[in-house]
Amino acid sequence: MSVIDIKGLHKSFGDLEVLKGIDLAIETGEVVVIIGPSGSGKSTLLRCLNFLEYPTEGEIRVNGELIDPKKTDLDKVRQHMGMVFQHFQLFPHKNVLHNITIAPMNVKNATRKAANMVARDLLQKVGLPDKEKAWPSQLSGGQKQRVAIARALAMDPDIMLFDEVTSALDPELVNEVLQVMQDLAAGGMTMVVVTHEMGFAREVASRVIMMDDGRIIEEGTPEQLFGDPQEERTRMFLSQVL
């Protein structure tokens, strides 16, 4: 069964139609990388997956269950999906440890002790075991983003969504974040990644999706898409970013 199954997804902001009919199924353990020019609807698609944006039209099933944003308890749905944002969005008034424990303790009613244990384990995993007492403002961009990943993982999600998570980073900090994501993929996490990092897409993706103008215009394995793109627009895009 697909973790997420989308049929005929449309999304408009006022008169502007950003998504013009998306069909996409994400299977357990897949790493789906979405590429495409800016304004093509990649981020909007990602944000529809955990209902930060409500679809204008179309069906989204999560673990087989059809979601109606007006009726389904979206808080419950989101608990199973982690999201990492371009601008980190760590909580500035909480230290690193509390950033990671706040959701498990308040949403899942985890005890402080259990939450701390999970958090320390995750900080180890993202390579920041000595930063639990630090304030977000004391961290570099790469460190912030790794904490943000740990924070999302602390809810033990079935799927992780990454929204251009390296775009706001200084170039020398990009790799430490990509490395964490690569480890995560190697560990079997289901992931949907919107990115401009073609190297990452090539090495880590199990499937690459090319979007343009609100539609999926081409998809395939990295070898297919990068090695032998079928669409003219894909070729154009790749020639500009590679």
Partner 1 sequence: MTLLNVVQDYFWGFLIATGMTLRLTAVSLVLAVVIGLLFAFLKISKYRVANIIADAYIGITRGMPLIVQLMFLYFGISSIVTLTAFWAGSFALALHAGGYVAEILRGAIQNVDRGQTEAARSLGMSHGMSMRLIVLPQAVRRAIPPLGNQFIIGLKDSSLVAFLGVPELFSKAMTAAAANYSPFNTYLVAGTYYLVLVIIFTWLVHKLETRLTPYRQEATR
Kindly list the residues in this chain that would bind partner 1 in the complex (CB under 8 A): 50, 52, 75-76, 78-79, 81-83, 85, 87, 89-93, 95, 102-103, 106-108, 135-138, 148, 151-152, 155
Enter the tokens of residue 104: 């498990």
Residue 97 or 208 having the CB closest to partner 1: 97
Distance CA 115, CA 119 (A): 6
Q: How far is the CB of 213 from partner 1 (least distance, A)?
A: 25
* Nearest distance in Å: CB 37, partner 1: 23
Burial of 58 per CB tally in 10 Å (0-12, 13-18, 19+): middle
CB nearer to partner 1: pick between 189 and 225: 189
Nearer to partner 1, 90 or 173 (CB): 90
Torsion, Cα 86 74 115 126, to 10 degrees, reads -30
Shortest Cβ distance from residue 217 to partner 1 (Å)? Answer: 28
CB-nearer residue toward partner 1: 28 or 106: 106
90 vs 208, beta carbon nearer partner 1: 90
Check: CB of residue 96 under 8 Å from CB of residue 136.
yes
What Cα–Cα distance (Å) separates residue 143 from each residue in 91, 113, 169, 175, 181? 14, 24, 10, 11, 13
Phi-psi region of 118 (alpha: psi -120 to 50; beta: other; left: phi over 0): alpha
| Least distance CB 150 / partner 1 (angstroms) | 12
CB of 164 to partner 1, least distance (A): 13
How far is the C-alpha of 168 from the C-alpha of 142, rounded, in Å?
Answer: 9
Q: What is the CA radius of gyration of the chain?
A: 18
Phi then psi dihedrals of residue 139, to 5 deg: -100, 155
Nearest approach, Cβ of residue 6 and partner 1 (Å): 18
Q: Where do the H-state alpha helices sit in 154-231? A: 171-186, 198-204, 222
Q: Smallest gap, in angstroms, from Cβ of residue 120 to partner 1?
A: 18
135 or 215: CB nearest partner 1? 135
Tokens coding 96: 């690193």
3-state secondary structure of 127: coil
With respect to partner 1, which residue has the nearer C-beta, 8 or 92? 92
